[in-house]
């Protein structure tokens, strides 16, 4: 089973699946392979509806978050489709297995004051202050994913037109506007680098190597603590904040979908939530009873 899973992952890698997806699917399929090994199940048995039902039941007993469970099922479904295409399987067992519905959760976002606190903390003195400020400004300016930020090259920045070229999910390229503040922060950061070249990574770690996704998450975690934020903050928090703040200030969904790199508009619609304060403000100005003169 593990050998089949390795072939499947090589197949996904050849189709330019992201490193994050490959890592997640690899862990999920390894868990399934271990389950098969403990029960001495061959390929035919492992992909029977009854056996898959028992595996899914074992996952349910672990009390995983619904979306984590769905990701594991998605990995197994994709693996099954691959085996069907290769002729290893002749029937799709998932036709008899209903999938649980995806849990709808509002994305966590920061208020404007919290974003300012993060940016102010990133700008504090230190050898990496210029880099940290450029990082935070760019992500909040353009709503980039963690993998998109760490995959940027200096040549991807168009300082003249004020846009950044991003290679997103599915190896799809898109151009996103960048604020003047973010462009200035990036120029200030690059001016601290010795002889930067167009094909060099845009962001480097403290050792002068390309910044990784884990390194980026570590930076955010530390700066969130230093800024005194009570909640957990990640690069995705700024991406969520970017989307939420744009919508709250009049950006249309289609434009936001393009900037975020979402395949489906339904994915972008999760950001249509608004704060309670904004709802109250709209209510106060719109409800006819609130417009009546007080006697």
Catalytic residue selected from 11, 71, 81, 236: 236
Q: What is the pLDDT of residue 60?
A: 77
285 in catalytic set:
no
Mean pLDDT by runs of 10 across the 295 residues of the chain is: 88 81 89 90 87 86 78 88 88 74 63 83 80 91 90 94 87 89 94 93 94 90 81 81 84 86 79 58 68 52
Quick one: tokens of 21?
A: 């997806």
Catalytic residue selected from 72, 145, 146, 240: 145
**Rounded Cα distance, 150 and 20, in Å:** 12
Q: Which CATH number fits domain 2-96: 2.60.200.20, 3.40.710.10, 1.10.150.130, 3.40.47.10?
A: 1.10.150.130
H or E segment and range at residue 250 = none
Catalytic residue selected from 25, 140, 189, 271: 271
20 in catalytic set:
no
- Report yes or no: 141 and 178 within 8 Å, Cβ to Cβ: yes
82 in catalytic set:
no
Q: What is the pLDDT of residue 151?
A: 92
292 φ/ψ angles, rounded to the nearest 5 degrees: -75, 140
As a CATH number, domain 112-279 is 1.10.443.10
Q: What is the pLDDT of residue 269?
A: 75
**The tokens 């593990």 sit on which residue?**
2
260 φ/ψ angles, rounded to the nearest 5 degrees: -80, -20
Please tell me whether the overall predicted TM-score, pTM, comes out greater than 0.95 for this model: no
169 in catalytic set:
yes
116 in catalytic set:
no
Domain boundaries along the sequence of the chain? 2-96, 112-279
Q: Where are the beta strands (DSSP E) in the chain?
A: 157-158, 163-167, 173-177
Q: What is the pLDDT of residue 106?
A: 55
287 in catalytic set:
no
- Report yes or no: 82 and 11 within 8 Å, Cβ to Cβ: yes
Q: What is the pLDDT of residue 270?
A: 73
Catalytic residue selected from 81, 153, 169, 174: 169
**Rounded Cα distance, 179 and 182, in Å:** 5
Catalytic residue selected from 133, 239, 240, 245: 239
**Rounded Cα distance, 262 and 264, in Å:** 6
Measure CA 122 to chain center: 22
Strand order in the sheet with 163-167: 157-158, 163-167, 173-177
Contacts of 59 (CB under 8 A, 6+ apart): 69, 72
Q: What is the pLDDT of residue 290?
A: 61
Q: What is the pLDDT of residue 293?
A: 52
């Amino acid at each position: 089973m593990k050998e089949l899973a390795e072939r499947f992952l090589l197949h996904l890698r050849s189709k330019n699946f992201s490193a994050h997806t490959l890592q997640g699917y690899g862990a999920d399929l390894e868990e399934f392979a271990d389950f098969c090994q403990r029960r001495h199940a061959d390929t035919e048995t492992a992909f029977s509806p009854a056996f898959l039902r028992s595996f899914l039941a074992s996952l349910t007993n672990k009390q995983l978050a619904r979306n984590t469970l769905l990701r594991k099922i998605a990995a197994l479904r994709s693996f099954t489709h691959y085996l069907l295409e290769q002729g290893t399987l002749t029937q799709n067992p998932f036709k008899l297995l209903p999938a649980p519905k995806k849990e709808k959760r509002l994305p966590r976002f920061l208020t404007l004051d919290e974003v300012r606190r993060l940016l102010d903390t990133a700008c504090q003195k230190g050898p990496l202050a210029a880099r940290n400020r450029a990082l935070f400004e760019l992500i909040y300016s353009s709503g980039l994913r963690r993998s998109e930020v760490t995959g940027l090259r200096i040549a991807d920045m168009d300082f003249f037109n004020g846009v950044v070229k991003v290679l997103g999910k599915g190896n799809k390229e898109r151009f996103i506007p960048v604020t003047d503040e973010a462009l200035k922060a990036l120029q200030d950061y690059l001016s601290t680098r010795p002889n930067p070249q167009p094909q060099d990574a845009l962001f480097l770690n403290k050792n002068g190597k390309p910044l990784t996704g884990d390194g980026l998450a570590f930076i955010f975690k530390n700066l969130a603590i230093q800024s005194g934020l009570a909640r957990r903050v990640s690069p995705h928090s700024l991406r969520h904040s970017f989307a939420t703040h744009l919508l709250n200030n009049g950006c249309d969904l289609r434009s936001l979908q393009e900037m975020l790199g979402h395949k489906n508009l339904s994915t972008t619609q999760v950001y249509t939530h608004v704060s309670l304060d904004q709802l109250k403000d709209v209510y106060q100005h719109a409800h006819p009873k609130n417009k009546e003169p007080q006697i």
